[in-house]
Amino acid sequence: MQYEHVLVRYAELSLKGKNRKKFERQLDQNIREALSEYPAVKTTRSFGRLYVLLNGTAYEDVREKLKHVFGIHSFSPAMKVDFDVDAMCEAAYTLTKEALEQRNGAGTFKINVRRINKGFPHGSAELNYTLGSYVLARMEKLTVDVKKPDVEIKVEIRSEAVFVTGQTEKGAGGLPVGTSGNVLLMLSGGIDSPVAGYLALKRGVTLEAIHFHSPPYTNAQAKKKVEDLARKLTKYAGTVKVHFVPFTELQLAIHKQIPDNCEITVTRRFMLRIAEQFAKQNGNKALVNGESLGQVASQTLDSMVAINDVTTMPVLRPLVTMDKQETIEIAREIDTYATSILPFEDCCTIFLPADPKTRPKLEKIRYYESFMNVEELVNETVAKIETVEIREREEEEFTSLL
């Protein structure tokens, strides 16, 4: 069937009270951007629903885009009919027949009418019976199952029209990207940080990323891997800016000055300082990382205390209570896992000591750093950051120097 409408149901933004219109406008904008390669497609809104007008565009193409838009609870291809019971009956029959076509019309069904437009003269219970009886009379192999039907025909009688649907796609949930502020993701080449970025996006943030690389200890393939991971996130985020930090000189200075078993802690502290300074210049309101409590030496509670000591900016850790398998499952769902496990190491694996401190003493860490010109090293490194804007299609990418 060639559908002309898609009915979009909101996720938790429907609970937003007086701010609801702001969230709805942002979701509308995000959907239009996600569907921008289909110029014929338009959107309209009414209270509690958003409609995608396909204007000849294939529903299957639009469906693949809508699945990745945060703020959508579910969506359905819909038939729009007049305020006419006969038209509703015919639409319910058409959609039931289509849903059971592969089974030669055999199966169970249910009619579910919602009468949002209270001015319509027929009640929901009456319409459930009328539409159900009509469909049953035309399909001999069909029976009713109100608890677990093969097909549920939903009829929404709204002020602007009646919409009849026979299938429902689960949306991405969460809040529309752009409603919760701008954050800076500390993106490595591993499994965790892309998942952290995805989960932060689900809470409505606009996302940029910062990556530390140390050529020649890290190679061009490692940098390309990070760009590819950022590109995976564009499905959910739109365009993603990645800020590349040349970290070699600073990392060598740390390696020269700091005892081996404290080197990871100090390296992380410098990364956080650089990320915070850049974020403040760039207008980001928080940092995001992929830390999970207890996963590695730098992610014990004592290490987090010692590392977090250098920043006053909020650090969001969406994975903090997850185990590795849970993170891997999400990585597979969002298609970042295969890229993350490619064997191109990032700077965090350079100069890795055999016995890193899992309970670093903050006073000792501060003492070791007192022999380094921290402010000058951070300022010099931030000044050399290079930005690449990653878009969904690789050929549109461009680079600029700050």
Q: Do 90 and 202 lie in a common domain?
A: no
pLDDT in tens, 300-315: 999 999 999 999 999 9
User: Is 290 annotated as belonging to a binding site?
Assistant: yes
Query: Range of 327's domain?
Result: 182-391
Instruction: Please report whether residue 402 resides in a domain.
Output: no
Strand 182-186 and strand 286-288: pairing?
A: parallel
Q: Which residue did the predictor score with more confidence, 145 or 219?
A: 145
Nearest-Å Rg of the Cα atoms of the chain is: 27
Q: Do 163 and 86 lie in a common domain?
A: yes
Count of C-beta atoms within a 10 Å radius of residue 259: 11
CATH number for position 122 = 3.30.2130.30
Of 146, 170, 194, which closes a domain?
170
Do the beta carbons of residue 356 and residue 216 sit within 8 Å?
no
Dihedral angle computed from the Cα positions of residues 206, 53, 87 and 85, in that order, rounded to the nearest 10 degrees: 40
> What angle is formed at CA 81 by the lines to CA 75 and CA 82, rounded to 5 degrees?
140
Q: Do 77 and 195 lie in a common domain?
A: no
User: Is 332 annotated as belonging to a binding site?
Assistant: no
Average pLDDT of the residues in 229-251:
95
Number of domains the chain is built from: 2
CATH number for position 374 = 3.40.50.620
Instruction: Please report whether residue 217 resides in a domain.
Output: yes
Identify the pLDDT of residue 402.
42
Q: Do 193 and 294 lie in a common domain?
A: yes
Identify the pLDDT of residue 54.
97
> What angle is formed at CA 297 by the lines to CA 293 and CA 303, rounded to 5 degrees?
70
Instruction: Please report whether residue 212 resides in a domain.
Output: yes
User: Is 283 annotated as belonging to a binding site?
Assistant: no
Q: What is the mean pLDDT of the chain?
A: 93
User: Is 299 annotated as belonging to a binding site?
Assistant: yes
Residue 379 main-chain phi, psi, to 5 deg: -60, -45
DSSP letter string, 380-401: HHHHT-EEEEE-SSGGG-EEEE
Q: Do 161 and 211 lie in a common domain?
A: no
Q: Do 141 and 194 lie in a common domain?
A: no
Identify the pLDDT of residue 13.
76
Q: Do 166 and 203 lie in a common domain?
A: no
Residue 32 has pLDDT above 60, yes or no: yes
Q: Do 96 and 20 lie in a common domain?
A: yes
Instruction: Please report whether residue 97 resides in a domain.
Output: yes
Q: What is the pTM of this model?
A: 0.90
Instruction: Please report whether residue 125 resides in a domain.
Output: yes
User: Is 221 annotated as belonging to a binding site?
Assistant: no
Instruction: Please report whether residue 55 resides in a domain.
Output: yes
Q: Do 204 and 120 lie in a common domain?
A: no
Average pLDDT of the residues in 110-137:
96
Identify the pLDDT of residue 306.
93
User: Is 211 annotated as belonging to a binding site?
Assistant: yes
Q: Do 213 and 99 lie in a common domain?
A: no
Do the beta carbons of residue 306 and residue 258 sit within 8 Å?
no
Residue 280 has pLDDT above 50, yes or no: yes
The count of C-alpha atoms lying within 13 angstroms of the C-alpha of 325, restricted to the half-sphere facing its C-beta, is 0
Do the beta carbons of residue 243 and residue 386 sit within 8 Å?
yes
The count of C-alpha atoms lying within 13 angstroms of the C-alpha of 8, restricted to the half-sphere facing its C-beta, is 33
The size of the chain, in residues, is: 402
Count of C-beta atoms within a 10 Å radius of residue 113: 25
Instruction: Please report whether residue 193 resides in a domain.
Output: yes
Q: Do 48 and 96 lie in a common domain?
A: yes
Instruction: Please report whether residue 397 resides in a domain.
Output: no
Q: Do 234 and 164 lie in a common domain?
A: no
Identify the pLDDT of residue 394.
61
Helix axes 374-383, 248-257, angle to 10 degrees: 160
User: Is 295 annotated as belonging to a binding site?
Assistant: no
